[in-house]
Amino acid sequence: DVLGASMAATIARRLCFSSAETVRVRLAVRSYLRPRQMAHEPEATPERRAIYRFFRDAEPSGLEATILSLASELATYEGAPPSTEWQRLVAVAAALFEAYFERRREVLDPPPLVGGHDLIEELGVAPGPQLGVLLDGIREAQAAGEVRTREEALAFAQHVMEREGLR
């Protein structure tokens, strides 16, 4: 919700929030619909890749956005929300909280398996934006559980380069 995020940031500044606090408010409001969207996906709980992308895009306000999503759902209805929708949203929120508090290192912030120097030496990647794109892709695949070793990371990068016609 870009308009709502802009309005929330304006209000935060008027209330003399710090710049960092204003950013948190803006990102929380911008991102609060994502958990609700995840709750409408066919899977009962979001996949690791969706969780990674949510926190990547919402940080540093992923937790706030999740809580705001729950509050917004409750505020939408007089009385209790429809139980099926509410249960799905709570399941998504639980998966997001669990990833953040219990599996952060595995799902949100995995240790790098390779660095830019590795891709340059092993695969002949030229320094530049392409290198960053490959490293970001490896990190996301690692967070999704698709890449677990250095060798898999290099193979993943090689596959992306071939698929995209990069060198």
pLDDT at 37 over 90: yes
The string of pLDDT tens digits covering residues 96-112 is: 999 999 999 999 999 99
In the DSSP assignment, the letter for residue 148 is: -
| Identity of the residue numbered 100 | Y
pLDDT of residue 42: 85
Which residues of 23-155 form beta strands (DSSP E)? none
Contact call for residues 88 and 44 (beta carbons, < 8 A) = yes
- Give Cβ neighbours of residue 164 (< 8 Å, ≥ 6 apart): none
The string of pLDDT tens digits covering residues 44-84 is: 789 999 999 999 999 999 999 999 999 999 999 888 888 89
What is the distance between the alpha carbons of residues 9 and 19, in angstroms, rounded to a whole number?
A: 9
What is the distance between the alpha carbons of residues 43 and 101, in angstroms, rounded to a whole number?
A: 22
Instruction: Please report where in the chains the tokens 């392409």 appear, as a residue.
Output: 130
Q: What is the pTM of this model?
A: 0.89
Domain locations in the chain as residue ranges: 2-108, 116-164
Tokens for 83?
Answer: 């139980």
Average of per-residue pLDDT across 116-144: 94
Contact call for residues 116 and 109 (beta carbons, < 8 A) = no
- Give Cβ neighbours of residue 22 (< 8 Å, ≥ 6 apart): 9, 12, 13
Between residues 44 and 131, which one has the greater pLDDT? Answer: 131
pLDDT at 167 over 70: no
